Amino acid sequence: AYVNEVGKWVTMHEVGHTLGLWHNFRSSASTPFDRLHDRAWAEQNGVFSSVMEYPTPNVAPRGTANGYYYNPGVGSYDLWAISYAYTPDDARARALARESADPRHLYGTNAEAGGPGALDPTINVFDLSADPLAWARERAGIIRGLWATLPQQVLGDNSRYNELAVAYQILLGQYAQAVAPAVKYIGGSGINRDHVGDPGGRMPFENVPRAKQREALTFLTSEVFSEQALAVPPEVLQRFGSNRWLQDWNANTTWNGRLDYPWHEQLAAFQAGALSALLNPFRLARIRDGETRYGAANVLTIPEVMDEVTRAVWSEVWAARGRNVSALRRGRQRADEEQRYAEARAESRP
């Protein structure tokens, strides 16, 4: 059933390209979070409102009946865009073009989804729902719940231990994808393409409410930078193996040159990437501009961001002087120092 659903979605996606449609990485935001696993809703509206989305599989948490993994048919955005593109009636085309503000027609494409300039937390690849932060919290919880029991899920009689390391690596990548949208809330804005006078028209940029920015920052400090955020039981780590099957041409035989799995290096790279995105100069400049544009009381300010990140990364300084700092925490703190040093060098250049 899963393969049939993903195969159908991919086919619809590629046919959409042949008809002239671009990617739409905001269409998942047309679906309320509490409707993700509502099959009747999906049959009427889609899991996301455009097959031109890059979605993640719609997997329900344990104890919740799963809905559709992917769209069972084309979405409301697709019908709207194709109707505009192919109608021979100019008057109808003009009327359809004024429907940009309809929440069933949300749109955002490649250039707005990634890179330091990305600022809309609803325009992402591999996320779901109108509340990407709620979805990220749920998906991160699902993944964390798998780590302790991963050997039982992956290793059977005569299995290679490398399969466990590969499975963990895949889950760590999924975890990074899940938390990524949270960064865009900090200093973020919604992007709209509405024209003046459109029914229900919105401003070109809409500030992410301060409370939502604060919630996102708390989520990041808890799920990425806190001491227990990425903990894996030692008995699981001890079972990670490397690929010693040299005839397997499609796989590496080391992990970045090491025979054993470089756990701290992998986590440090993930955390450093999240820290770099959070403290990117573009983001800090948007926060500064937001204080003037929307008022300091309506945004999360630079001192607040720096204070919370510092306390999360260097919590031992406040909580327990003299305490031994774990290897994982030392890697995180080194990444923080390197990021701040790089920023200081960039600011000092003429």
- pLDDT digits over 263-321, tens only? 999 999 999 999 999 999 999 999 999 999 999 999 999 999 999 998 888 877 766 56
Q: How far apart are CA 196 and CA 350, in angstroms?
A: 41
Q: Residue 341: pLDDT above 70?
A: no
343 alpha carbon, distance to own chain's centre: 24
| Residue 134: band (very low, low, confident or very high) from pLDDT cuts 50, 70, 90 | very high
- Phi, psi dihedrals of residue 261, rounded to the nearest 5°: -75, 125
Please report, as a single letter, which amino acid is at residue 160.
Answer: R
Tokens of 43: 């049959």
Nearest to 75 by CA among 101, 42, 38, 102: 42
| Residue 180: band (very low, low, confident or very high) from pLDDT cuts 50, 70, 90 | very high
Q: Residue 350: pLDDT above 60?
A: no
- Phi, psi dihedrals of residue 298, rounded to the nearest 5°: -110, 5
| Portion of the chain with pLDDT greater than 70, in percent | 89
Nearest to 115 by CA among 125, 128, 105: 125
Nearest to 241 by CA among 151, 171, 327: 151
Q: Residue 332: pLDDT above 90?
A: no
Q: Which of 106-120, 205-219, 249-263, 327-341 bottoms out in mean pLDDT, i.e. has the lowest?
A: 327-341
Q: Residue 157: pLDDT above 80?
A: yes
| Portion of the chain with pLDDT greater than 90, in percent | 80
Tokens of 184: 């865009």
Contact criterion met (CB below 8 Å) for 281 and 262: no
Q: Which residues of 173-183 are buried (b: 16+ CB within 10 A; e: fewer)?
A: ebbbbbbbbbb
How confident is the model at residue 327, as a pLDDT? 67
Contact criterion met (CB below 8 Å) for 233 and 246: no
| Residue 329: band (very low, low, confident or very high) from pLDDT cuts 50, 70, 90 | low
Which helix (H) or strand (E) segment holds residue 205: the answer is strand 205-207
